[in-house]
Amino acid sequence: MSMKTSTPAESSRNESMAPSAAARLRKVHWYQEPRWRRLGALLALAVTFTLMTGEEGTTRDLFLALREDFTGPGLWLWVGIAVLVWVVREFLSDQASGAAKWTKRTASGPFAAVREAWGSNASLRVGVLLAGLALAVFGPLGLERYWQQVLVDQIAIFVLLTIGLNVVIGWAGLLDLGFIAFFAIGAYSAAYWTGALPVQPPVVLNNFLVIPIAVATCLVAGVLLGAPVLRLRGDYLAIVTLGFHEIVYLMAKNAESVTEGVRGVKVERFSIDLGFFSYEWKLDPMPYYWVLIGFTVLALFLFLRLEHSKVGRAWTAIREDEVAAAATGVNTVRYKLMAFAIGASTSGVAGVAYASKVGYFNPENFAILLSILVLAYVVFGGMGSIPGVIFGAAFLVWLPEALREWVDPKDRYMYLGALLVVMMIYRPQGVLPSRRRKRELEMAEAGIGGADATGPAEGRQQ
Amino acid sequence: MSGTTQSRKAPERGESTSPVVLELRDLHVFYGAIEALKGINLTVRRGEVVALLGANGAGKSTTLRTASGMIAPREGQVLLHGERVDGIKSHDLVRFGIGHVPEGRGVFPRMTVRENLQMGAYRFKSVDKDDLDRVFTLFPRLGERKSQLGGTLSGGEQQMLAIGRALMGKPEVLLLDEPSMGLAPLIVQQIFEIIKEINEQGTTVLLVEQNASQALRMADRGYVLETGSVAMEGGAAELLSDPRVRAAYLGEGAA
Ligand SMILES: Nc1ncnc2c1ncn2[C@@H]1O[C@H](COP(=O)(O)OP(=O)(O)OP(=O)(O)O)[C@@H](O)[C@H]1O
Ligand SMILES: [Mg+2]
């Protein structure tokens, strides 16, 4: 009897003394709200950024740099910018999207007419595309020489690399970090077949004729690397491809009798000699630019056809669920190899073009950093979206060059990094995401499936 | 041909004389050093529903995986219309008319219902509109959700989608691995009725089930697996009334 009365009393006393475990877990602290967490991340970024771009330390006064950075105006500037970004994104986004809606509504009449015409009138479509192409081809003639150089050596080359990597990562979902190894293979192929290496080729070829050979070499290298490792996914594949890059890089560096090692290689520029007509590419960057535009348009033409074909659908299915893809009749190994090889050969073409443009390169031009950068361009632009990745590459290559005038040149890539961090906080799908990618992130947020491009969706019992 | 359908309707099991479609002969399948199947013999005749029963880990899923080419047997043969197909990869075997709905469904989570079904017709040049209509008639719930994403469907709806997707490949033999897993009794009832309908429309079915009584009531014949071997086989009615089966799988009259 006495036991019976004491039990409820005890339990109620327990409750009044301390909140139950469940109640504690249910309580959400303010700092756990996503909004405040994002502010925290932005502030941490601002502080790190101030330190990294601020004063340099000296060995004599260890704390000089810290003192300078934390008392100077830089900290407040960056914290202010972080808070501003946060306020605009968190509190003014309603107004912003309201304004966007209003614009959309008022513009919907004319827009709908435009879209209608775009959809129905093929000659209009072709006309607009041709006009855009003409702008891309002749517009840069008006630029300064320096920007023309940047456009060719960097932007055009990286756009080509990025659309190649987009096939591998964005479409087939294979996390390839050794992408630049194929770029190197392309460049060294150009050097070998034009007779620029210590080892001589059976026949010395024109740079343009090297391109099919480089494509074939990269295809073979891609398949040789791909065949044994494409069973791996995600992180594992990333590590193996990273290793592959390192092998190629170190061979280029150390096999001096073949590659000239760190001394680098001098390669001849592009030239044509058809007997009745000959032309040599010299120092003017624009002719190289047109060659690269040609390669890019060709690659785009081929890839866009693939995207909505059976091949593209097979890649999507593989990304979603390999077992199910195989069960519907998709040869998963073949299509993964195909994506890998397409990426590799695009990279190889870019390598030949690069070597034939700059005329001199050494192994440092193929450092692992480039693989990471190209990956960043793909993610920034929007994985799987061709307009997205072209924009991503062009913008992110342009940005550090443009910053050269404004900030300490050593810090330029810090700005790029900070931009990527903010981007991942507020727009992880990229600037111009593909419809499918947007869907993936939305579903990941709702707790269905993973958000990375490469993992198969989770929640599958097998 | 007409004799086939008649013999299906009159449940004179085992007497079916229609040709053998799928035959497993003395299959030995290993996972590493573990022998999961220790000499399985099994035949499926055209137009039949054959039930494959057994405890957890008996090797039912392994049998289906071997039949659909996901695993190659170490010994023994898989025959389709008398021709050996073991060793052919699953993505190629689809073209021979084997449709496999694996355990755990495996719909494409970020494709819509319609895209999932279109993927099912991957082996053809284009999607057959009639097949799509047929799936939506069999599963009206999918028809209402054509643009919903596969991963957001309920468990039962995902099962329907998985079966529908397999049907889009026009399989001659449909291998179903526990279609009733985790579903409410009413939905299980529905799924079984639809499987029956699919079968009556001409698809041969090899069905793995834990739900033994329901499976046997629908099936023509059945096999009971025990740790990788066939312990019992026979007509469905015969198995349903067998005291050993009743004790082990129907939870009745335990000794
Ligand atoms: N991939 C694998 N690796 C190792 N062993 C496996 C693998 N798959 C299955 N097995 C083993 O093989 C045996 C048969 O498994 P199987 O999945 O065929 O059983 P099942 O009859 O389908 O069981 P359940 O009714 O639980 O689905 C089990 O002992 C299982 O542990
Ligand atoms: Mg099983």
Give the ligand with the smallest distance to the CA of B36: 1
Structural tokens at position A212? 């099919």
Percentage above 70 pLDDT, chain B: 91
- A49 in a structural domain: yes
Q: What is the pLDDT of residue A342?
A: 93
Asked if residue A86 and residue A156 are part of one domain, the reply reads: no
| B4 — pLDDT class (breaks 50, 70, 90) | very low
ipTM, interface predicted TM-score of the complex: 0.84
Nearest-CA distance from A356 to chain B in Å? 43
8 Å CB contact of A329 and B68: no
Q: What is the pLDDT of residue A17?
A: 61
Q: Where are the domains of chain B?
A: 48-66+89-249
Q: What is the pLDDT of residue A453?
A: 52
- A8 in a structural domain: no
Average pLDDT on B150-174 reads 92
Mean confidence (pLDDT) of chain B: 87
Of A328, A440, A461, the CB nearest to B122: A328
- A459 in a structural domain: no
Asked if residue A342 and residue A216 are part of one domain, the reply reads: yes
Q: Is A34 left (phi over 0), alpha (psi -120 to 50) or beta?
A: alpha
- A21 in a structural domain: no
A270: closest CA among A197, A211, A203? A211
Q: What is the pLDDT of residue A13?
A: 52
Asked if residue A185 and residue A44 are part of one domain, the reply reads: no
Let me know: does B18 contact B4? Beta carbons within 8 Å.
yes
Nearest-CA distance from A270 to chain B in Å? 43
Q: If you take atom 27 of ligand 1, which residue's CA is the nearest one?
A: B56
Asked if residue A85 and residue A150 are part of one domain, the reply reads: no
Ligand 1 neighbours by CB, cut-off 6 Å: B 31, 34, 36, 54, 56-62, 103
Average pLDDT on B43-50 reads 94
Q: Tell me how far apart the terminal alpha carbons of chain A are, to the nearest angstrom.
A: 54
Q: Is the pLDDT confidence value at B246 over 60? A: yes
Q: What is the pLDDT of residue A447?
A: 65
CA of B150 to the centre of ligand 1 (A): 26
Asked if residue A157 and residue A89 are part of one domain, the reply reads: no
CATH superfamily of B48-66+89-249: P-loop containing nucleotide triphosphate hydrolases (3.40.50.300)
8 Å CB contact of A448 and B68: no
Q: What is the DSSP letter of A196?
A: -
Q: What is the pLDDT of residue B6?
A: 42
- A124 in a structural domain: no
What share of residues in chain A are helix, strand, coil (percent, to 5)?
A: 75, 0, 25
Q: Which residue of A has its CA nearest to B148?
A: A439
Position with higher pLDDT, A438 vs B215: B215
Asked if residue A176 and residue A70 are part of one domain, the reply reads: no
Q: Is the pLDDT confidence value at B3 over 70? A: no
Asked if residue A154 and residue A89 are part of one domain, the reply reads: no
- Angle, CA of A331, B206 and B235, to the nearest 5°: 160
Give the ligand with the smallest distance to the CA of B56: 1
A207: closest CA among A294, A293, A302, A291? A291
Asked if residue A69 and residue A215 are part of one domain, the reply reads: no
- CA-to-CA dists, residue B133 to A445, B142, B144, B147, angstroms: 33, 11, 12, 15
- Which pTM value belongs to this model? 0.83
Question: Which residues are CB-contacts of B79 (< 8 A; sequence separation ≥ 6)?
Answer: B20, B22, B23, B24, B25, B85
Structural tokens at position B129? 């509109």
A320: closest CA among A443, A179, A446, A164? A443
Q: Which domain holds residue A59?
A: 26-93
How far apart CA B65 and CA B162 sit, in angstroms, is: 16
Return the amino acid letter for A211.
Answer: I
Q: What is the pLDDT of residue B254?
A: 43
Question: Which residues are CB-contacts of B170 (< 8 A; sequence separation ≥ 6)?
Answer: B97, B124, B128, B131
Asked if residue A252 and residue A367 are part of one domain, the reply reads: yes
Asked if residue A185 and residue A88 are part of one domain, the reply reads: no
Question: Which residues are CB-contacts of A430 (< 8 A; sequence separation ≥ 6)?
Answer: A379, A380, A381, A382, A383, A385, A388, A392, A423, A437
Q: What is the pLDDT of residue B116?
A: 94
CA of B234 to the centre of ligand 2 (A): 21
Nearest-CA distance from A329 to chain B in Å? 4
Low-confidence residues of chain A: pLDDT under 70 = 1-18, 57, 107-109, 111, 233, 446-462
Pairing of strands B49-54, B34-45: unpaired
- A126 in a structural domain: no
Asked if residue A217 and residue A84 are part of one domain, the reply reads: no
Asked if residue A400 and residue A302 are part of one domain, the reply reads: yes
Return the amino acid letter for B185.
Answer: P
E-strand ranges in B55-109 read 75-80, 83-84, 98-101
DSSP code string of A273-302:
E-SS-EEE--S-HHHHHHHHHHHHHHHHHH
Number of domain units in chain A: 2
8 Å CB contact of A439 and B95: no
Q: What is the pLDDT of residue B11?
A: 45
CA of B63 to the centre of ligand 2 (A): 9
Q: What is the pLDDT of residue A451?
A: 56
- A299 in a structural domain: yes
| B13 — pLDDT class (breaks 50, 70, 90) | very low
- A389 in a structural domain: yes
